[in-house]
């Protein structure tokens, strides 16, 4: 294609104009123009310098803010002012690009060590920043270490775009900014994507490299095991990180930090407190909702964003009942941004040329730059010290004979003559003579001479120190290392990102995977829904509700939560139903799956994993939960006024709660026990220590609306403290009673404990007063606690459980032994219960 010259100007003679057509090759023109453009983008815009880790626009912003005096100890200024200064003096591009770069350097979720202290809305992971006219900024403290000593000839300065001003070609960079804050950029034909790291770890590796220039990658990875992302999270799999450190290219997976929490008595949820790098909560919520609508994700009932400035990120994912939280979490990692990949591509400029560097090369380039900066700074300071010493020495010569110096100056016709006479008489240099001529009279006092002599001595010492540093490569390296150590101590923070060699598996997940059928050597996915495994439903003396993860026998001894024992234990399954009976005679249908699961452990489960009954079911004023019971067995119910009832299991199928006994005024249910067999013995125990044992066969089964029949005959002011069912053929069955003083504060009265074999109590007729079970001593007038059943365990205030119990083999109505002796091994007794 031909390129034509412009037409002749108007009015020009035709013969004065000669047409000149130049033929060029389009391919060559395009190649040359494109290469110029590509190099301009690579060098002047997109890629960071390996020495200070900054792109040109970032470097110009920091330098201009430093020149404007926007230090951390001064007030913020409008961001628009900074953008205008940078654009007008150093960066001949659009204000949007400058402000975007400025915003990123102020975001603590983008940079591991932010370089700009922003005031106002600088954006979030889901939203952009406010306009520059609304935000304010100043340099962060860490940014000062990047621009320090620019006035000491530590780096080269180059002209700006119009050759009217100069700007630093690179910043001194007192810490490895490229590794600490990472970088992203897209050039022509290449791109860079570098992960942030922990400042302390990177500086430790740099100091090791300074001391050991031949250090290997393995040596440096002992200090830098992997990236440290600003938003925390977890990195799963370290092979890709090692590849990146070795070759400059690699990738790794990042995952959100998630905890499984009991959101309420009936709801379990996944709580997200940290997300993968550069992933915002709104994006996660949107992707999860899309996956749920597309039927890719199941088991999620709701997702709520509770993030705020005080508590930070908190994303609550509520789960439906019956779904395995760990299995749902695995689905979330697969179908949402809660798991993300980060590709490392360490492309950076070295001597103006783009190169892909590994960890060793990146640190080597930085260390070399820093050594050169400190060497130039030291040489600059040495020159300044020598110049000052030269002036001080000339001044001391003049002060010794100051009168004659003044006379020489006064008698000279002009400054040049005075300068020549001083130089010839006192053997001064021109610089020294000029300095003397510029002195003020107050600098010629005797005290000033003493100060000058001290300054001369100090200058000579400093010059010797600086010359020693320049003359020894070892001392120069030690100085660089020491300065890096100071930076790490001042600005270092603990690691935020957790590094995992492989996917972390909790004990629950490991057990589930081990039990799941699958091909040997192949990972078996977790079952999404909770299987209908056998388990125990537990109600404790303190009112905690929980279920176990299996139906292994519950141990008779072992660790137990403080002050708590089993009050009611029912054999059931994870997807089964049980009944809960309250003190007002109500029965409630409970879904076992809604109960919190106690973690599997050897021995007795830790009851601290339950939830209070009042948070799980709705109880009226003064109403308490008495016991759990199966829904398919005949139950025996005993009340405080001595009424007994056996109720048939003909419960309504379409209701969640109903009455199972019609109570009289001021009466309440005190005990519930399965009594399907008529051979079972029912037992009442009153506060006056009366015990009635009678056969369940004497109580006919009634409907749920009946009021029951007379159980035990009570004396005036007496009431039932215990009701239960005991197998008459159980040789280990015992009766436990603890006597004390009515109205005394707990622990203030000594009390007495007594355990008697159940077989010593005779069977009596229903509706009789029974027999005496405990003889009160002086100061005792009531039973504080009573219990009958299969050899109970005793729980103490120290949380222990013991099987050995004091036995009274005399008369059944005898007195007990001091309570302190009965439980001296584990502390004062708090409750008695069948350990199931």
Structure confidence at residue 39 (pLDDT): 61
Catalytic residue among 17, 37, 134, 161: 134
Max intra-chain CA distance, the chain: 146
Structure confidence at residue 57 (pLDDT): 93
Contact 41, 64 (CB under 8 A): no
Rounded to two decimals, the pTM is 0.73
Question: Is the pLDDT confidence value at 46 over 70?
Answer: yes
Chain segment 101-118, per-residue pLDDT in tens: 999 999 999 999 999 999
Question: Is the pLDDT confidence value at 508 over 50?
Answer: no
Contact 694, 764 (CB under 8 A): yes
In this structure, CATH architecture of domain 257-337: 2-Layer Sandwich (3.30)
Structure confidence at residue 304 (pLDDT): 93
Chain segment 412-470, per-residue pLDDT in tens: 888 899 999 889 888 889 999 998 888 877 766 655 778 888 999 999 999 999 999 99
Q: What is the mean pLDDT of the chain?
A: 84
Q: How confident is the model at residue 254 (pLDDT cuts 50, 70, 90)?
A: very high
Question: Is the pLDDT confidence value at 731 over 60?
Answer: yes
Would residue 75 be called left, alpha or beta, if left means φ above 0 and alpha means ψ between -120 and 50 degrees?
A: beta
Other Cβ atoms less than 10 A from the Cβ of 254: the count is: 26
- Which of 143-157, 323-337, 414-428, 559-573 comes out lowest in average pLDDT? 559-573
Structure confidence at residue 2 (pLDDT): 45
Other Cβ atoms less than 10 A from the Cβ of 547: the count is: 24
Structure confidence at residue 679 (pLDDT): 85
Please report, for residues 3, 22, 101, 784, the alpha-carbon distance to residue 14 in angstroms, rounded to integers and kept in the order given: 21, 20, 56, 128
Structure confidence at residue 548 (pLDDT): 82
- Which of 44-53, 262-271, 536-545, 819-828 comes out lowest in average pLDDT? 819-828
Would you kindly state where each structural domain of the chain is located, as residue ranges? 51-173, 257-337, 534-833
Structure confidence at residue 176 (pLDDT): 96
Structure confidence at residue 361 (pLDDT): 96
| Topology agreement, domain 51-173 and domain 534-833 | no
Q: Please state which CATH class domain 534-833 belongs to.
A: mainly beta
Structure confidence at residue 402 (pLDDT): 81
- Candidates 152, 116, 154; CA nearest to 136 is 116
Structure confidence at residue 327 (pLDDT): 87
Q: Which residues contact 387 (CB under 8 A, 6 or more apart)?
A: none
Structure confidence at residue 742 (pLDDT): 79
Average pLDDT estimate for 396-407:
84
Contact 102, 130 (CB under 8 A): no
Q: What percent of the chain has pLDDT over 70?
A: 84
Q: How confident is the model at residue 807 (pLDDT cuts 50, 70, 90)?
A: very low
Which stretch of DSSP H or E encloses residue 423? helix 415-426
- Which of 221-235, 250-264, 422-436, 744-758 comes out lowest in average pLDDT? 744-758
Structure confidence at residue 169 (pLDDT): 93
Dihedral through CA 822, CA 827, CA 829, CA 833, nearest 10?
-90
Work out whether the CA dihedral 710, 711, 713, 714 comes out positive or negative: negative
Chain segment 598-649, per-residue pLDDT in tens: 765 545 556 666 778 887 888 888 889 999 999 888 899 999 999 999 998 8
Chain segment 283-292, per-residue pLDDT in tens: 999 999 999 9
Chain segment 483-507, per-residue pLDDT in tens: 999 999 999 999 999 998 866 544 4
* Cα-based angle 300, 273, 346 (whole degrees, multiple of 5): 110
Which stretch of DSSP H or E encloses residue 701? strand 701-702
Specify the CATH number for 51-173; select among 3.40.630.30, 1.20.1600.10, 3.40.1030.10, 3.90.199.10. 3.90.199.10
Give the integer Cα–Cα distance in Å for 579 and 602: 28
Which stretch of DSSP H or E encloses residue 670? strand 669-674
Give the integer Cα–Cα distance in Å for 368 and 351: 12
| Pairing, β 643-647 against β 701-702 | parallel
Q: Which residues contact 200 (CB under 8 A, 6 or more apart)?
A: 488, 492, 493
Contact 495, 196 (CB under 8 A): no
Chain segment 696-727, per-residue pLDDT in tens: 989 988 888 888 999 999 988 899 999 999 98
- Candidates 710, 712, 760, 718; CA nearest to 735 is 760
Structure confidence at residue 1 (pLDDT): 44
Work out whether the CA dihedral 237, 239, 240, 246 comes out positive or negative: positive
* Tokens found for residue 645: 């009832």
Question: Is the pLDDT confidence value at 14 over 60?
Answer: no
- Which of 381-395, 415-429, 776-790 comes out lowest in average pLDDT? 776-790
Strand partners, 637: 645, 672
Structure confidence at residue 510 (pLDDT): 45
Structure confidence at residue 506 (pLDDT): 44
User: Cβ-count burial of 33 within 10 angstroms (0-12 exposed, 13-18 middle, 19+ buried)?
Assistant: exposed
Q: How confident is the model at residue 813 (pLDDT cuts 50, 70, 90)?
A: low
- Beta-sheet strand order (sheet of 817-818): 782-790, 733-740, 752-757, 817-818
* Tokens found for residue 835: 């350990």
Structure confidence at residue 514 (pLDDT): 45
* The residue to which tokens 């954006």 are assigned: 123
Average pLDDT estimate for 804-811:
45
Q: Is 761 among the residues known to form the active site?
A: no
Structure confidence at residue 608 (pLDDT): 62
781 vs 265, more confident: 781
Q: How confident is the model at residue 654 (pLDDT cuts 50, 70, 90)?
A: confident
Structure confidence at residue 599 (pLDDT): 64
Give the integer Cα–Cα distance in Å for 369 and 363: 10
Q: Which residues contact 67 (CB under 8 A, 6 or more apart)?
A: none
Average pLDDT estimate for 192-199:
95
* Tokens found for residue 637: 């119910």
Contact 74, 151 (CB under 8 A): no
Give the integer Cα–Cα distance in Å for 588 and 579: 5
Q: What percent of the chain has pLDDT over 90?
A: 48
Give the integer Cα–Cα distance in Å for 44 and 167: 13
């Amino acid at each position: 294609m031909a390129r034509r010259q412009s037409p002749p100007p108007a009015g020009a003679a035709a013969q004065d104009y000669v047409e000149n057509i130049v033929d060029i090759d389009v391919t060559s023109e395009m190649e040359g123009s494109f290469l110029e453009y590509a190099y301009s983008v690579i060098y002047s815009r997109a890629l960071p310098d390996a020495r200070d880790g900054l792109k040109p626009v970032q470097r110009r912003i920091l330098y201009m803010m430093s020149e404007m005096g926007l230090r951390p100890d001064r007030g913020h200024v409008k961001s628009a002012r900074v953008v205008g200064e940078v654009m007008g003096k150093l960066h001949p591009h659009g204000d949007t690009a400058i402000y975007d770069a400025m915003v990123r350097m102020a975001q603590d979720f983008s940079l591991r060590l932010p370089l700009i202290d922003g005031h106002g809305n600088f954006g979030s992971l889901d939203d952009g920043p406010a306009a520059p006219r609304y935000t304010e900024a100043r340099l962060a403290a860490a940014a000062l270490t990047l621009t320090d000593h620019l006035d000491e000839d530590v780096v080269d300065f180059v002209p700006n775009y119009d050759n009217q001003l100069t700007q630093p070609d690179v910043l001194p960079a007192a810490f490895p900014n490229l590794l600490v804050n990472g970088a992203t950029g897209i050039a022509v034909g290449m791109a860079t994507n570098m992960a942030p790291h922990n400042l302390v770890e990177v500086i430790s590796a740099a100091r090791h490299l300074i001391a050991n220039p031949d250090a290997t990658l393995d040596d440096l990875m002992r200090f830098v095991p992997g990236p440290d992302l600003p938003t925390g999270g977890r990195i799963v799999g370290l092979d890709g990180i090692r590849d990146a450190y070795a070759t400059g290219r690699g990738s790794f997976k990042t995952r959100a930090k998630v905890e499984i929490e009991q959101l309420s008595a009936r709801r379990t949820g996944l709580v997200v407190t940290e997300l993968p790098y550069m992933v915002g909560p709104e994006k996660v919520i949107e992707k999860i909702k899309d996956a749920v609508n597309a039927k890719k994700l199941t088991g999620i009932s709701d997702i709520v964003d509770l993030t705020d400035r005080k508590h930070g990120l908190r994303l609550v994912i509520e789960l439906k009942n019956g779904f395995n939280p760990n299995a749902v979490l695995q689905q979330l990692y697969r179908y949402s941004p809660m798991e993300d990949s980060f590709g490392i591509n360490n492309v950076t400029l070295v001597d103006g040329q783009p190169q892909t560097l590994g960890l060793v090369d990146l640190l080597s380039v930085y260390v070399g730059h820093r050594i050169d900066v400190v060497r130039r700074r030291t040489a600059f300071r040495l020159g300044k010290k020598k110049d000052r010493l030269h002036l001080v020495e000339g001044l001391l010569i003049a002060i010794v004979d100051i009168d004659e110096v003044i006379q020489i100056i006064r008698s000279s016709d002009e400054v040049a003559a005075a300068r020549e006479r001083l130089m010839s008489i006192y053997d001064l240099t021109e610089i020294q003579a000029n300095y003397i001529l510029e002195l003020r009279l107050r600098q010629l006092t005797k005290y000033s001479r003493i100060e000058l002599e001290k300054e001369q001595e100090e200058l000579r010492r400093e010059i010797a120190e600086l010359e020693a540093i320049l003359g020894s490569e070892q001392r120069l390296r030690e100085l660089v290392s020491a300065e890096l150590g100071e930076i790490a101590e001042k600005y270092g923070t603990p690691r935020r990102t957790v590094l995992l060699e492989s996917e972390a598996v909790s004990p629950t997940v490991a057990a589930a995977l081990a039990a799941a059928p699958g091909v040997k050597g192949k990972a078996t996915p977790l079952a999404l829904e909770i299987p209908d495994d056998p388990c125990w439903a537990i109600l404790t003396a303190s009112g905690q509700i929980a279920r176990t993860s299996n139906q292994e026998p519950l141990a008779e001894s072992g660790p137990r939560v403080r002050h708590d024992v089993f009050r009611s234990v029912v054999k059931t399954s994870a997807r089964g139903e049980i009944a809960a009976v309250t003190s007002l005679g109500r029965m409630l249908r409970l879904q076992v799956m809604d109960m919190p699961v106690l973690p599997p452990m050897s021995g007795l489960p830790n009851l601290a994993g339950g939830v209070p009954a009042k948070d799980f079911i709705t109880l009226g004023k003064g109403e308490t939960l008495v016991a759990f019971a199966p829904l398919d067995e005949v139950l025996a119910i005993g009340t405080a006024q001595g009424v007994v009832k056996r109720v048939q299991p003909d419960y309504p199928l379409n209701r969640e709660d109903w009455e199972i006994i019609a109570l009289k005024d001021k009466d309440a249910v005190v005990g519930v026990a399965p009594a399907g067999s008529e051979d079972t013995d029912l037992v009442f125990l009153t506060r006056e220590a009366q015990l009635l044992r009678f056969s369940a066969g004497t109580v006919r089964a009634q409907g749920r609306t009946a009021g029951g029949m007379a159980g035990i005959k009570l004396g005036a002011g007496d009431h039932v403290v215990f009701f239960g069912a005991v197998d008459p053929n159980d040789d280990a069955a015992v009766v436990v009673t603890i006597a004390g003083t009515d109205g005394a504060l707990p622990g203030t009265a000594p009390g007495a404990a007594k355990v008697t074999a159940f077989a010593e109590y005779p069977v009596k007729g229903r509706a009789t007063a029974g027999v005496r079970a405990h003889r009160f001593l002086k100061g005792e007038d009531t039973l504080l606690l009573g219990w009958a059943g299969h050899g109970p365990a005793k729980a103490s205030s120290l949380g222990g459980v013991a099987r050995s119990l004091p036995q009274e083999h005399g008369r059944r109505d005898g007195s007990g032994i001091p309570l302190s002796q009965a439980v001296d091994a584990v502390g004062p007794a708090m409750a008695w219960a069948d350990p199931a």
